[in-house]
Amino acid sequence: MTTTLIDRIGLLYTGDPEREELADAALVVEDGLVAWTGPAAQAPDADRRVDAGGRAVIPGFVDSHAHLVFAGDRTAEFQARMSGEPYTGGGIRTTVAATRGASDAELAARASGLVREMLAQGTTTVEIKSGYGLSVEDERRSLEIASGLTQETTFLGAHVVPAGTDADSYVRLVAGDMLRACAPHARWVDVFCERGAFDGDQTREILTAGLNTGLGARVHANQLTEGPGVRIACELGAASADHCTHLTDADVDALASSGTVATLLPGAEFSTRSPYPDARRLIDAGATVALATDCNPGSSYTSSMAFCVALAVREMRMTPLEAVRAATYGGARALRRTDVGWLKAGARADLVVLDAPSYVHLAYRPGVPLVHQVFRAGLLLEEDAQNPSSVVVL
Ligand code: NIG
Ligand code: FE
């Protein structure tokens, strides 16, 4: 039993609603878990001491929405958008073709590279979706690769209908054989509910099949247009409705009165030059909001939660506190996790020491690498790298 005291924390953002912020603080880690937080002056002794030097500490980011199993590149599509072309989601098929043509080793190397990139930027929990395979075997292997990197794996066979297939038979395949092959490697089922992807009935059918197989539900909802996605997510008890860019008042009410988290993905609006979701409307209505990267090669090729925090503050009128809360505690709620996303006794000791006196600097100093140290389950990232299973984001 080894204890570590992280001492001289200038500002500790715990994420624990009961005591969210603490100045001049310290934190004790025991066996990978947070054992104590409190005023530095009252800190107990420990086997080793880490001096935070007055820096701020936050929980590791929880990135609850990412598409990391893919091959290829969509630079040309991004360039075309920046010259005025709209984003339609049609580029997904380009990535599907590249992904199908890649070996397992290539896909695993790319995905684990992105996970390492995320970890170095303070993300200690990440959800990873399939969705660029769209055949039974390509979806299954995508999820097998993802499950080597995280326990938060999501079956997104219903990303789009692949070229050369009719929608009805594809929905039957997704809800049948594909789901059966993928469910052993997945914790969640997701559907892109959108004009040009899957309609309300198809979404309901696939989510219900997933729920019946024991998976939890999450939905790509109301990204490009208003539609039934958010309502279905709330009705079926999904953990999260993601995007939430085009909402009616009824959608906002449904989110506020259900246990479904509204996950906002401002990297997608940034990279598609689209209007941002109205975070204020959701927060003021009482909805729980999460922020995530949506990291994918088409609509949001960023792995940086800090960038999303800065966007949320500048473009979505979230306060810095609300944005950091959404990127940690909110992400954990969106994954129905209570062991991550906050620094209270008993939680996993996943934390980031920022090279800044306050978490506010994440928005105040956008684009600046402010991560001083990352601890995962109480181990500094560099120590963790000695561990052969270090690539796994627990
Ligand atoms: O969340 N909207 C659907 N899926 C992704 C985009 C995928 C892509 O363009 O490759 C998203 O934005
Ligand atoms: Fe997405």
69 with 131, same domain: the answer is: yes
53 with 66, same domain: the answer is: no
Report which ligand 1 atom has the smallest distance to the Cα of 91: 9
Residues 186-212 have pLDDT tens digits of: 999 999 999 999 999 999 999 999 999
Residues 59-79 have pLDDT tens digits of: 999 999 999 999 999 999 999
Residue nearest to atom 5 of ligand 1 (CA): 299
Selection from 310, 314, 318, 309 nearest residue 281 by Cα: 318
With respect to residue 394, please indicate whether it lies within any of the assigned structural domains.
Answer: no
Confidence band, pLDDT 50/70/90 cuts, at residue 383: confident
With respect to residue 393, please indicate whether it lies within any of the assigned structural domains.
Answer: no
Q: Where is the binding site, in residues?
A: 65, 67, 74, 132, 159, 220, 223, 294, 296, 298-299
Cα separation, 152 vs 248, in Å, equals 30
CATH number of the domain within which 162 lies:
3.20.20.140
Q: Is the pLDDT of residue 341 over 70?
A: yes
Q: Is the pLDDT of residue 394 over 80?
A: no
Residue by residue, DSSP assigns 308-330 as HHHHHHHHH---HHHHHHIIIII
Report which ligand 1 atom has the smallest distance to the Cα of 242: 1
Residue nearest to atom 8 of ligand 1 (CA): 298
Q: Is the pLDDT of residue 393 over 90?
A: no
Report which ligand 1 atom has the smallest distance to the Cα of 87: 9
Determine the straight-line distance between the first and last CA of the chain, rounded to whole angstroms.
20
Query: Is 89 a pocket residue for ligand 1 (Cβ < 6 Å)?
Result: yes
pTM of the model: 0.97
**Closest ligand to the CA of 95:** 1
Domain end position, chosen among 334, 352, 369? 334
Distance 122 CA to ligand 1 centre (A): 23
The pLDDT of residue 144: 98
Selection from 239, 233, 240, 246 nearest residue 206 by Cα: 233
With respect to residue 389, please indicate whether it lies within any of the assigned structural domains.
Answer: no
Residue nearest to atom 12 of ligand 1 (CA): 299
The pLDDT of residue 382: 81
CATH number of the domain within which 355 lies:
2.30.40.10
Query: Is 92 a pocket residue for ligand 1 (Cβ < 6 Å)?
Result: yes
| Count of domains observed in the chain | 2
Q: Is the pLDDT of residue 377 over 90?
A: yes
Could you list the residue range(s) of the whole structural domain that residue 347 is in? 3-59+342-384
Distances in Å between the alpha carbon of 152 and those of 37, 84, 379? 28, 36, 21
Half-sphere exposure at residue 87, Cβ-oriented, CA atoms within 13 angstroms: 22
